[in-house]
Amino acid sequence: GSLINKMPGDYDQKFQGVRGFVSYMIAHPGKKLMFMGSEIGQFDEWNANEQLEWDLLGYEKHRQLNHFFATVNKFYRDTPAMHENDYDWNGFQWVALDDYQHSVIAFRRIALDGSEILVVCNFQPVTRENYRVGVPVYGIYEEVFNSEAEEFGGTGIGNAGEIKAVNEKEHELDYHISITLPPLGVTFFKLVKEEPVPVAPKKRTRKAKTESEKAADKPKKTKTAAKKAAPKKAAAKKEEKAE
């Protein structure tokens, strides 16, 4: 059967599955190959004796899927991080690959100039809220692609606006972002502004405070105490004269 017909779930989930799978494939290293008809959501397997079912574009879901293919292909072509280092480990790094409980994976695609795209895939039909993903740079991130965007016929669940990194480690990286993962969705994120890492104020230890307190409580030597010894010396001299 065709790609969309091999997807599990109901009618809408089959389209979700195609968008998620293709987004993952586009983001993963290696050159891409799609079989004819997949871009319009053809349910019947391609037949060499018949033309493609172009009449499917008369239906909104199929038009939206075709728009998705055009958009994700353009993103791939216009974004160096997605294709420059296809056969070099410098162009790919796993971030999260062992979250089998949530069926989520995340990885980084890296261009020759060091610019990056963070890819996060949610392979379950469940929305994940406040999901933490490690990032290497502290700053502001933005969602730059979402397979579940409404324009593609998706749920519209995603991350609007700025996403500020948190100065806490996650996935063996120094910082993390907290994001929403759409069901059966793949999202791409990009660093849009690097910011200085906030420095926590130094805390005085209890030991240091105790030493300070001791220094404050220690009695000071007074001049009066020094003068009290003088009469004793004078008395001693008088005794010597009397002898």
Pair 91, 85: CB distance under 8 Å: yes
CA-based nearest residue to 20, from 31, 40, 4, 32: 4
Average per-residue pLDDT for the chain: 88
Residue with tokens 């060499």: 48
Quick check: is 201 in a domain? no
Residue 240: its pLDDT value, please? 47
pLDDT at 226 over 50: no
Q: pLDDT higher for 216 or 177? A: 177
Quick check: is 199 in a domain? no
Quick check: is 241 in a domain? no
Structural domain of 107: 4-194
What is the rounded distance in angstroms from the CA atom of residue 200 to the CA atom of residue 202?
A: 6
pLDDT tens-digit series, residues 106-160: 999 999 999 999 999 999 999 999 999 999 999 999 999 999 999 999 999 999 9
Quick check: is 111 in a domain? yes
pTM (2 decimals)?
Answer: 0.80
Distance linking the first and last C-alpha atoms of the chain: 131
Q: How many domains, the chain?
A: 1
Residue 204: its pLDDT value, please? 64
Quick check: is 223 in a domain? no
Residue 19: its pLDDT value, please? 98
Residue 211: its pLDDT value, please? 58
Quick check: is 51 in a domain? yes
Quick check: is 216 in a domain? no
Quick check: is 227 in a domain? no
Most confident of 14-23, 203-212, 227-236: 14-23
Count CB-CB contacts under 10 A for residue 160. Answer: 10
Residue 184 belongs to domain with CATH number: 2.60.40.1180
Residue 137's Cβ-count burial label (10 Å; 0-12, 13-18, 19+) is middle
pLDDT at 205 over 80: no
Tokens of 121: 């895939």
Q: Percentage of the chain surpassing pLDDT 70?
A: 83
φ/ψ of residue 66, rounded to 5? -65, -40
Task: Please state the rounded mean pLDDT for residues 231-237.
Answer: 48
